[in-house]
Chains A and B, each alone.
Chain A
């Protein structure tokens, strides 16, 4: 992060608009302005169209010869398949309500980061090709001809949208830029243009079952390593089952939590909770990914990756699936999964908590329960013993992830847990939480270091709200229910609110969890001394 301006510099954002028409401006595609492209070797085996090696920093992107035809046909097809796209192309009145709702606009002041203009980037081409007024009046009607610079502009701006849907909340017609961005990215993929940081995880997930490319034996080793750490902290030895048929529950969480701090502590939290309540579950190495970067690629890729969850539940005879903390994973599960897969495998049943008997009627179709729903239910029924004072050295806040907030509405469940497991909990300002929450600045596959300045700009609203509670209440820990957040929020906090740490909700649960037969806790899951509970 040494090569990006300081936070004091970066916050001086000007919202003055340029004098020239937006159609006459072009983005400068330089190092740091766009993320690295997906390689041909990644795209080809996945069956992605027109795979080729190219460099965004060179003039020629080596588009296929009939690229204009590909875009025209691709757009036409999607206008016919998605009412949303056609409607969102047609009914925008450019009232500007969305303009300053985007974190990238707030952090950059770049007019094309206003959701309305981001959509106009595609809409202008749509007008030219698919509306009479656009064909005749051209620029007067807001239409423009598709050329290679437009493709570059799309690549630049549709990868500066994290599909967080904050703008769609404020739009009087519910126009959802995420939907527009998804379509534009699909069109770019038709030309063989994608991001390395998205397509590499997609390729990994297809092959090894998870985004990080962790092979089955390595996955087992990692989890066993986490179990050793748990034993170190609690004195309890855990042997989680892998790929075992005949268990009631299949547990699936993002692989990011098996990979790096602080996600691994959340993973340890799950394992400890399941051990304590005696849950009959298994992990799977084949379906070892809750997240789905296919969502950021195309609807068919999303389906391809998602299909493994039910396939594995069927193979193992699981009754229902418990899903870990993850943002976009839950958009896929809540809004796409049942539609893509149709009726669930016959071995599956409406989820019932084996501990409390609560029937999860809200998941009777997908048979998949969010861990926050599951744990909030345990806490409500006093089925686990908690000692929140173990988190007393923390002053916590909670970051709502975009997708659980605006594509699901998981707002109270994690808060109920937070209030039960720690004594010091403070909310960030009203306009930055719950359904109005801000993106971490790097969702939807943009969590890559080469665009760190763009990320930090997008992180400005969240970072600023965090800074506010840090100064006002001394908050030193921001919790979240998203694995991407656990990777993206630490640099956000270091930059915008230095001194604040990031934790998954279930890490804090496990810290407070009083386990049967545990030794006296002197350390938290990070193996840091608990103040006031040191060994005497």
Chain B
């Protein structure tokens, strides 16, 4: 845990010092270009690497009644029997974290095992992911001119509380609170602490750093947003505006550096669950293998003990017991 925290702090300091020592071009031009390439190629490579491996058997985890007799209502979403149901199940899984919503917490009270409802992980995970999405979409303000209508719409929604100036976007504090919960859970829930690895803390701290610098930039250490936009647009046109660079405060470089690290780290880490969940065979397959043939591309040859071999061994006692035999025992012919 400490190592992850220190690593993220070190990255922040590195970026800060870099911006002070005149490495702005490296931090804001070279690295982001590299990071985007690494992210895109890496992400695609991971997905292709998974997708090209065969799915020999159809192994959905069924979470409800199967489709069998006509008058028994099947659980079409939790136990889909066709691709429509699978789509529904996957959409709910990806957008609503349906499986996580089932979560319970076991305790033993005296001589009774009790299953408590436990939805906080679901709630904060959902807040985190949706805040991240909204914040990501909001950043399109910097990537497009004119600003697309949906960005304005989402900004309006995000700032609907109309607190302060610049107007407070709810997702800022929300994502920090959600991250704090996820970090806190790893620290204070004994079981989760026990299973946590460095690679579980690191992305949490990194994203926390990313969001915290973003919030700091907007509300406290204000940087010249107009110049940032000029610069980002120049990046997008592959003609980095170095003049603009010099006018942007250091906090921007730290923010940018956290993002580049995140992008480069993403494809090689557990963060790939974002892509992997779509390929999970216990969720994305229909429970239809009694209705439809699922083909295993490496299906081995059938090798088994045949009836003939079986009868050859047991022919005499079978015959004597009055069981039908294909060939009578030799002395009975």
Binding site for B on A (CB under 8 A): 8, 11-13, 15-18, 22, 79-84, 86-87, 90-97, 99-101, 106, 111, 114, 116-117, 120, 132-133, 137, 140-142, 165, 168-176, 179, 206-209, 215-217, 220-221, 242-245, 285-286, 299-300, 303-305, 307-308, 311-312, 315, 333-343, 358, 360-366, 368, 373, 376-377, 380, 405-413, 416, 429, 431-432, 434-436, 460-461, 464-465, 467-468
Supply 14 further A-B pairs (C-beta < 8 A) apart from A174-B93, A308-B307, A405-B62: A83-B51, A83-B279, A84-B59, A94-B200, A96-B195, A99-B192, A168-B282, A170-B99, A216-B323, A220-B321, A308-B305, A358-B70, A365-B290, A365-B293
A101 vs B321: C-alpha distance when bound (angstroms): 50
Write the B184-197 contact mask toward A (1 if CB under 8 angstroms, else 0). 00000111111111
B317 at the interface (CB under 8 A from A): yes
Task: Indicate if the CB atoms of A408 and B287 lie closer than 8 Å.
Answer: yes
Residue of chain A at shortest CB distance from B53: A83
A117 vs B69: C-alpha distance when bound (angstroms): 40
Residue of chain B at shortest CB distance from A17: B194
A97 vs B189: C-alpha distance when bound (angstroms): 12
Task: Indicate if the CB atoms of B67 and A340 lie closer than 8 Å.
Answer: no
A16 vs B273: C-alpha distance when bound (angstroms): 29
**What residues on A are CB-neighbors of B102 within 8 Å?**
169-170, 436
Task: Indicate if the CB atoms of A305 and B304 lie closer than 8 Å.
Answer: yes
A491 vs B310: C-alpha distance when bound (angstroms): 35
A305 vs B53: C-alpha distance when bound (angstroms): 26
Nearest CB in chain B: distance from A382 CB, A: 13
The 6 closest A-B pairs by CB, nearest first: A409-B66, A217-B321, A91-B276, A174-B282, A431-B115, A307-B304
A459 vs B3: C-alpha distance when bound (angstroms): 40
B103 at the interface (CB under 8 A from A): yes
Write the B73-92 contact mask toward A (1 if CB under 8 angstroms, else 0). 11100110100000000000
A169 vs B67: C-alpha distance when bound (angstroms): 19
Nearest CB in chain A: distance from B47 CB, A: 11
A365 vs B290: C-alpha distance when bound (angstroms): 5
Interface of B is mostly: loop
Task: Indicate if the CB atoms of B56 and A435 lie closer than 8 Å.
Answer: no
B108 at the interface (CB under 8 A from A): yes
**What residues on A are CB-neighbors of B291 within 8 Å?**
361-365
Task: Indicate if the CB atoms of B58 and A207 lie closer than 8 Å.
Answer: no
Task: Indicate if the CB atoms of B290 and A338 lie closer than 8 Å.
Answer: yes
Task: Indicate if the CB atoms of A244 and B324 lie closer than 8 Å.
Answer: yes
A100 vs B113: C-alpha distance when bound (angstroms): 12
**What residues on A are CB-neighbors of B54 within 8 Å?**
81-83
A338 with B294: in contact, given A106-B106, A170-B100, A409-B79 (CB under 8 Å)? yes
B225 at the interface (CB under 8 A from A): no
A96 vs B191: C-alpha distance when bound (angstroms): 7
**What residues on A are CB-neighbors of B314 within 8 Å?**
208, 215-217
A315 vs B304: C-alpha distance when bound (angstroms): 15
**What residues on A are CB-neighbors of B295 within 8 Å?**
339
A220 with B69: in contact, given A84-B55, A176-B282 (CB under 8 Å)? no
A252 vs B25: C-alpha distance when bound (angstroms): 74
A415 vs B192: C-alpha distance when bound (angstroms): 38
Task: Indicate if the CB atoms of A339 and B64 lie closer than 8 Å.
Answer: no
B277 at the interface (CB under 8 A from A): yes
A362 vs B296: C-alpha distance when bound (angstroms): 21
A168 with B294: in contact, given A17-B190, A141-B197, A243-B324 (CB under 8 Å)? no
- By size class, the interface of chain B is 35 or more
**What residues on A are CB-neighbors of B173 within 8 Å?**
none
B242 at the interface (CB under 8 A from A): no
Residue of chain B at shortest CB distance from A117: B195
Task: Indicate if the CB atoms of A83 and B195 lie closer than 8 Å.
Answer: no
A339 with B99: in contact, given A94-B197, A362-B290, A410-B66 (CB under 8 Å)? no
A304 vs B71: C-alpha distance when bound (angstroms): 36
Write the B274-290 contact mask toward A (1 if CB under 8 angstroms, else 0). 00110111110001011
Task: Indicate if the CB atoms of B59 and A179 lie closer than 8 Å.
Answer: yes
Nearest CB in chain A: distance from B123 CB, A: 13
Task: Indicate if the CB atoms of B304 and A311 lie closer than 8 Å.
Answer: yes
Nearest CB in chain A: distance from B61 CB, A: 5
B330 at the interface (CB under 8 A from A): no
Task: Indicate if the CB atoms of A93 and B270 lie closer than 8 Å.
Answer: yes
> Which of A91, A99, A117, A179 has the most CB atoms of chain B within a 10 A radius of its CB?
A91
B320 at the interface (CB under 8 A from A): yes
Task: Indicate if the CB atoms of B191 and A342 lie closer than 8 Å.
Answer: no
Write the B312-327 contact mask toward A (1 if CB under 8 angstroms, else 0). 0110011011111000
**What residues on A are CB-neighbors of B199 within 8 Å?**
133, 141-142
A412 with B72: in contact, given A96-B191, A339-B56 (CB under 8 Å)? yes
A365 with B292: in contact, given A172-B277, A311-B307, A339-B299 (CB under 8 Å)? yes
B50 at the interface (CB under 8 A from A): yes
Nearest CB in chain A: distance from B107 CB, A: 8
Subset of 26 A-B contacts with CB under 8 Å: A11-B111, A84-B59, A93-B270, A94-B195, A97-B100, A106-B106, A117-B195, A133-B268, A142-B198, A172-B93, A179-B59, A207-B313, A242-B323, A335-B59, A338-B290, A339-B289, A339-B294, A341-B302, A363-B291, A365-B289, A368-B290, A380-B71, A406-B61, A409-B75, A429-B115, A468-B112
